[in-house]
Amino acid sequence: MSVRDMLKRTRKPLLALTEATATMTAGARMRPDFLIVGAQRCGTTSMFKTLAQHPTVAVPFLRKGVHYFDMHYDRGMPWYQGHFPIRATSALRRRGGPRPVTGESSPFYSFHPLAAERIARDLPGIKLIMLLRDPVERAYSAHSHELARGFETEPFERAIALEAERLAGQRERMIAEPSYVSFDLQHHGYLTRGHYVDQVRRIESLVGRERLHVVDAQDFFERPESEFRGVLDFLGLPWVDGVAFEKHNARRRSPMDAALRAELTAHFEASDAALAQWWGRTPSWMR
Protein backbone atom coordinates (compact mmCIF):
# COMPACT_ATOMS: atom_id res chain seq x y z
CA MET A 1 0.00 0.00 0.00
CA SER A 2 1.34 3.42 -0.95
CA VAL A 3 1.85 6.24 1.55
CA ARG A 4 -0.91 8.18 -0.22
CA ASP A 5 -3.38 5.31 0.20
CA MET A 6 -2.44 4.96 3.87
CA LEU A 7 -3.06 8.66 4.43
CA LYS A 8 -6.45 8.39 2.76
CA ARG A 9 -7.44 5.48 5.00
CA THR A 10 -6.47 7.33 8.19
CA ARG A 11 -7.84 10.73 7.17
CA LYS A 12 -11.54 9.89 7.46
CA PRO A 13 -11.44 8.58 11.07
CA LEU A 14 -9.29 11.55 12.12
CA LEU A 15 -11.65 13.99 10.41
CA ALA A 16 -14.67 12.35 12.06
CA LEU A 17 -13.02 12.63 15.48
CA THR A 18 -12.10 16.27 14.86
CA GLU A 19 -15.64 17.07 13.73
CA ALA A 20 -17.12 15.40 16.82
CA THR A 21 -14.82 17.38 19.10
CA ALA A 22 -15.56 20.64 17.29
CA THR A 23 -19.31 20.04 17.49
CA MET A 24 -19.06 19.82 21.27
CA THR A 25 -17.66 23.38 21.33
CA ALA A 26 -20.11 24.78 18.75
CA GLY A 27 -21.56 27.30 21.19
CA ALA A 28 -18.18 28.99 21.53
CA ARG A 29 -17.57 29.19 17.81
CA MET A 30 -18.28 31.90 15.25
CA ARG A 31 -21.19 31.75 12.86
CA PRO A 32 -20.43 32.63 9.24
CA ASP A 33 -20.82 36.24 8.15
CA PHE A 34 -20.55 35.42 4.44
CA LEU A 35 -20.92 32.47 2.10
CA ILE A 36 -19.54 32.02 -1.40
CA VAL A 37 -22.51 30.18 -2.87
CA GLY A 38 -21.38 29.55 -6.45
CA ALA A 39 -21.33 29.12 -9.25
CA GLN A 40 -19.32 25.94 -9.72
CA ARG A 41 -16.14 26.32 -11.86
CA CYS A 42 -16.42 30.11 -11.71
CA GLY A 43 -13.44 31.01 -9.54
CA THR A 44 -14.97 30.34 -6.11
CA THR A 45 -11.78 28.74 -4.77
CA SER A 46 -9.69 31.67 -6.00
CA MET A 47 -12.04 34.17 -4.33
CA PHE A 48 -12.05 32.22 -1.07
CA LYS A 49 -8.24 31.98 -0.98
CA THR A 50 -8.00 35.69 -1.72
CA LEU A 51 -10.40 36.56 1.13
CA ALA A 52 -8.52 34.20 3.45
CA GLN A 53 -5.47 36.47 3.15
CA HIS A 54 -7.34 39.37 4.74
CA PRO A 55 -6.27 39.81 8.38
CA THR A 56 -9.88 40.27 9.52
CA VAL A 57 -11.10 37.03 7.93
CA ALA A 58 -10.93 33.86 10.03
CA VAL A 59 -11.40 30.79 7.84
CA PRO A 60 -12.92 27.37 8.71
CA PHE A 61 -10.25 25.06 10.09
CA LEU A 62 -11.54 21.76 8.65
CA ARG A 63 -12.39 22.56 5.04
CA LYS A 64 -13.18 25.62 2.93
CA GLY A 65 -16.50 24.20 1.72
CA VAL A 66 -18.67 22.65 4.44
CA HIS A 67 -21.63 21.80 2.16
CA TYR A 68 -24.00 21.92 5.12
CA PHE A 69 -26.98 23.55 3.43
CA ASP A 70 -26.90 21.17 0.47
CA MET A 71 -25.39 17.79 1.41
CA HIS A 72 -25.25 17.63 5.22
CA TYR A 73 -28.25 19.58 6.49
CA ASP A 74 -29.44 16.61 8.52
CA ARG A 75 -26.35 16.90 10.77
CA GLY A 76 -27.67 20.05 12.42
CA MET A 77 -26.38 23.54 13.18
CA PRO A 78 -23.97 22.52 15.97
CA TRP A 79 -22.14 20.28 13.48
CA TYR A 80 -22.01 23.16 11.00
CA GLN A 81 -20.87 25.76 13.50
CA GLY A 82 -18.21 23.34 14.71
CA HIS A 83 -16.29 24.00 11.48
CA PHE A 84 -15.62 27.65 12.33
CA PRO A 85 -13.04 29.29 14.61
CA ILE A 86 -13.48 29.89 18.35
CA ARG A 87 -14.89 33.41 18.84
CA ALA A 88 -12.60 34.41 21.69
CA THR A 89 -9.45 33.15 19.95
CA SER A 90 -10.26 35.01 16.74
CA ALA A 91 -11.00 38.21 18.64
CA LEU A 92 -7.70 38.02 20.55
CA ARG A 93 -5.69 37.43 17.38
CA ARG A 94 -7.25 40.53 15.81
CA ARG A 95 -7.27 42.69 18.95
CA GLY A 96 -7.46 46.36 18.17
CA GLY A 97 -8.75 45.79 14.64
CA PRO A 98 -12.22 45.31 13.14
CA ARG A 99 -14.44 42.50 14.41
CA PRO A 100 -13.27 39.24 12.83
CA VAL A 101 -15.54 37.65 10.25
CA THR A 102 -15.68 34.13 8.87
CA GLY A 103 -17.29 32.30 6.00
CA GLU A 104 -17.06 29.32 3.70
CA SER A 105 -17.34 28.42 0.02
CA SER A 106 -19.76 25.74 -1.20
CA PRO A 107 -20.57 26.34 -4.89
CA PHE A 108 -23.51 23.91 -4.95
CA TYR A 109 -25.51 26.24 -2.67
CA SER A 110 -26.70 28.48 -5.49
CA PHE A 111 -27.98 25.58 -7.59
CA HIS A 112 -29.36 23.24 -4.93
CA PRO A 113 -33.17 23.61 -4.81
CA LEU A 114 -33.36 23.91 -1.00
CA ALA A 115 -30.05 25.48 0.05
CA ALA A 116 -30.95 29.17 -0.40
CA GLU A 117 -34.16 28.76 1.60
CA ARG A 118 -32.25 27.02 4.41
CA ILE A 119 -29.57 29.72 4.43
CA ALA A 120 -32.13 32.52 4.62
CA ARG A 121 -33.94 30.79 7.50
CA ASP A 122 -30.91 29.72 9.56
CA LEU A 123 -28.49 32.61 8.96
CA PRO A 124 -30.49 35.87 9.00
CA GLY A 125 -28.29 38.75 7.90
CA ILE A 126 -25.77 36.52 6.09
CA LYS A 127 -24.05 38.03 3.04
CA LEU A 128 -23.78 35.92 -0.09
CA ILE A 129 -21.16 36.16 -2.85
CA MET A 130 -21.71 34.56 -6.25
CA LEU A 131 -19.20 34.41 -9.11
CA LEU A 132 -20.29 33.96 -12.72
CA ARG A 133 -18.46 33.24 -15.95
CA ASP A 134 -19.30 32.47 -19.59
CA PRO A 135 -21.86 29.64 -19.17
CA VAL A 136 -20.48 27.82 -22.22
CA GLU A 137 -16.98 27.81 -20.74
CA ARG A 138 -18.40 26.91 -17.33
CA ALA A 139 -20.19 23.86 -18.78
CA TYR A 140 -17.08 22.68 -20.63
CA SER A 141 -14.92 23.21 -17.53
CA ALA A 142 -17.42 21.40 -15.31
CA HIS A 143 -17.42 18.41 -17.64
CA SER A 144 -13.61 18.22 -17.49
CA HIS A 145 -13.80 18.49 -13.72
CA GLU A 146 -16.37 15.69 -13.34
CA LEU A 147 -14.50 13.53 -15.84
CA ALA A 148 -11.27 13.89 -13.86
CA ARG A 149 -13.03 13.04 -10.61
CA GLY A 150 -14.62 9.92 -12.09
CA PHE A 151 -18.19 11.26 -11.86
CA GLU A 152 -18.59 11.38 -15.65
CA THR A 153 -17.75 8.84 -18.34
CA GLU A 154 -19.35 10.37 -21.43
CA PRO A 155 -17.68 12.86 -23.80
CA PHE A 156 -18.90 16.45 -23.51
CA GLU A 157 -21.34 16.51 -26.43
CA ARG A 158 -22.92 13.22 -25.36
CA ALA A 159 -23.12 14.39 -21.73
CA ILE A 160 -25.06 17.53 -22.60
CA ALA A 161 -27.34 15.50 -24.88
CA LEU A 162 -28.12 13.26 -21.89
CA GLU A 163 -28.56 16.13 -19.43
CA ALA A 164 -32.32 16.62 -19.71
CA GLU A 165 -32.93 12.90 -19.25
CA ARG A 166 -30.51 12.65 -16.33
CA LEU A 167 -31.99 15.64 -14.50
CA ALA A 168 -35.67 14.92 -15.20
CA GLY A 169 -37.65 15.03 -11.96
CA GLN A 170 -34.57 15.39 -9.75
CA ARG A 171 -35.29 18.90 -8.42
CA GLU A 172 -38.89 17.96 -7.74
CA ARG A 173 -37.86 14.84 -5.83
CA MET A 174 -35.33 16.77 -3.74
CA ILE A 175 -38.00 19.28 -2.76
CA ALA A 176 -40.48 16.51 -1.93
CA GLU A 177 -37.84 14.44 -0.09
CA PRO A 178 -35.36 16.86 1.56
CA SER A 179 -33.03 14.01 2.56
CA TYR A 180 -32.73 12.78 -1.04
CA VAL A 181 -29.31 13.37 -2.63
CA SER A 182 -29.33 13.67 -6.41
CA PHE A 183 -26.03 12.57 -7.93
CA ASP A 184 -27.07 13.80 -11.37
CA LEU A 185 -28.17 17.25 -10.21
CA GLN A 186 -24.87 17.73 -8.42
CA HIS A 187 -22.56 16.35 -11.10
CA HIS A 188 -24.34 16.45 -14.48
CA GLY A 189 -26.05 19.86 -14.64
CA TYR A 190 -23.69 21.26 -17.25
CA LEU A 191 -26.06 23.57 -19.11
CA THR A 192 -28.71 23.93 -16.43
CA ARG A 193 -26.25 25.41 -13.98
CA GLY A 194 -25.39 28.09 -16.52
CA HIS A 195 -28.86 29.63 -16.40
CA TYR A 196 -27.64 32.04 -13.76
CA VAL A 197 -30.58 34.43 -13.80
CA ASP A 198 -32.87 31.75 -12.38
CA GLN A 199 -30.50 31.25 -9.45
CA VAL A 200 -29.86 34.91 -8.62
CA ARG A 201 -33.58 35.71 -8.78
CA ARG A 202 -34.39 32.88 -6.38
CA ILE A 203 -31.67 33.95 -3.95
CA GLU A 204 -32.77 37.58 -4.17
CA SER A 205 -36.36 36.63 -3.35
CA LEU A 206 -35.18 34.88 -0.19
CA VAL A 207 -32.44 37.14 1.22
CA GLY A 208 -32.89 40.47 -0.58
CA ARG A 209 -30.79 42.10 -3.28
CA GLU A 210 -28.68 44.02 -0.78
CA ARG A 211 -27.29 40.78 0.69
CA LEU A 212 -26.21 39.26 -2.63
CA HIS A 213 -23.03 40.42 -4.37
CA VAL A 214 -22.37 39.07 -7.87
CA VAL A 215 -18.84 39.04 -9.31
CA ASP A 216 -17.90 38.57 -12.96
CA ALA A 217 -15.15 35.94 -12.77
CA GLN A 218 -13.34 37.12 -15.89
CA ASP A 219 -13.25 40.68 -14.56
CA PHE A 220 -11.95 39.34 -11.24
CA PHE A 221 -9.08 37.53 -12.95
CA GLU A 222 -8.28 40.41 -15.32
CA ARG A 223 -8.79 43.30 -12.86
CA PRO A 224 -8.55 41.61 -9.47
CA GLU A 225 -7.93 44.67 -7.32
CA SER A 226 -11.03 46.50 -8.56
CA GLU A 227 -13.33 43.50 -8.18
CA PHE A 228 -11.85 42.57 -4.80
CA ARG A 229 -12.44 46.10 -3.52
CA GLY A 230 -16.09 45.64 -4.41
CA VAL A 231 -16.22 42.41 -2.39
CA LEU A 232 -14.53 44.05 0.61
CA ASP A 233 -16.94 47.00 0.47
CA PHE A 234 -19.85 44.55 0.38
CA LEU A 235 -18.50 42.77 3.48
CA GLY A 236 -17.64 46.03 5.24
CA LEU A 237 -13.92 45.24 5.36
CA PRO A 238 -11.05 47.69 4.79
CA TRP A 239 -8.61 47.38 1.94
CA VAL A 240 -5.24 45.79 2.77
CA ASP A 241 -2.04 45.74 0.77
CA GLY A 242 -0.02 42.67 -0.08
CA VAL A 243 -2.85 40.38 -1.20
CA ALA A 244 -1.73 37.83 -3.81
CA PHE A 245 -4.26 37.26 -6.57
CA GLU A 246 -3.87 33.74 -7.92
CA LYS A 247 -5.94 31.43 -10.08
CA HIS A 248 -6.73 28.06 -8.51
CA ASN A 249 -8.18 24.78 -9.82
CA ALA A 250 -7.78 25.66 -13.50
CA ARG A 251 -7.74 22.63 -15.83
CA ARG A 252 -6.16 22.28 -19.26
CA ARG A 253 -8.50 20.91 -21.89
CA SER A 254 -8.69 20.73 -25.67
CA PRO A 255 -10.48 23.55 -27.53
CA MET A 256 -14.23 23.17 -27.97
CA ASP A 257 -15.58 22.57 -31.46
CA ALA A 258 -16.49 25.95 -32.97
CA ALA A 259 -19.91 24.82 -34.23
CA LEU A 260 -20.81 23.39 -30.84
CA ARG A 261 -19.67 26.57 -29.11
CA ALA A 262 -21.89 28.65 -31.39
CA GLU A 263 -24.83 26.35 -30.70
CA LEU A 264 -24.39 26.60 -26.94
CA THR A 265 -23.89 30.37 -27.06
CA ALA A 266 -27.24 30.61 -28.80
CA HIS A 267 -28.74 28.31 -26.18
CA PHE A 268 -27.82 30.79 -23.42
CA GLU A 269 -28.72 33.96 -25.33
CA ALA A 270 -32.10 34.63 -23.69
CA SER A 271 -30.87 33.67 -20.23
CA ASP A 272 -27.80 35.89 -20.55
CA ALA A 273 -29.91 38.84 -21.71
CA ALA A 274 -32.20 38.43 -18.70
CA LEU A 275 -29.17 38.23 -16.41
CA ALA A 276 -27.73 41.46 -17.87
CA GLN A 277 -31.05 43.21 -17.24
CA TRP A 278 -31.23 41.94 -13.65
CA TRP A 279 -27.57 42.76 -12.99
CA GLY A 280 -27.63 46.19 -14.57
CA ARG A 281 -24.35 45.46 -16.39
CA THR A 282 -23.20 43.53 -19.40
CA PRO A 283 -21.41 40.29 -18.44
CA SER A 284 -17.86 39.98 -19.78
CA TRP A 285 -18.77 37.13 -22.14
CA MET A 286 -21.39 39.32 -23.87
CA ARG A 287 -19.16 42.34 -24.47
What is the rounded CA–CA span in Å between residue 281 and residue 279? 5
Per-residue pLDDT of the chain (287 residues; tens, 9 = 90+): 454 454 345 455 655 646 776 788 888 999 999 999 999 999 999 999 999 999 999 988 777 899 999 999 999 999 999 999 988 776 656 666 778 999 999 999 999 999 999 999 999 999 999 999 999 999 999 999 999 999 999 999 999 999 999 999 999 999 999 999 999 999 999 999 999 999 999 999 999 999 999 999 999 999 999 999 999 999 999 999 999 998 887 667 788 999 999 999 999 999 999 999 999 999 999 99
According to the model, what pLDDT value does residue 7 have?
Answer: 39
Report the pLDDT value the prediction gives residue 48, as an integer from 0 to 100. 96
Task: Give the pLDDT of residue 117.
Answer: 98
**Pair type for strands 127-132 and 101-105:** unpaired
pLDDT at 93 (0 to 100): 64
- DSSP letters, 225-260, are HHHHHHHHHHHT----S-------S----PPPPHHH
Taking phi first (over 0 means left), then psi (-120 to 50 degrees means alpha), and beta for anything else, what does residue 214 get?
Answer: beta
pTM passes above 0.95 = no
Do the Cβ atoms of 66 and 15 come closer than 8 Å?
Answer: no
pLDDT at 143: 97
User: What are the structural domains, with CATH classification, of the chain?
Assistant: 24-286 (3.40.50.300)
Give the pLDDT score at 61.
78
Residue 98: name the closest of 229, 240, 213 by CA. Answer: 240
List the one residue out of 136, 84, 273, 123 whose CA is nearest residue 203: 123
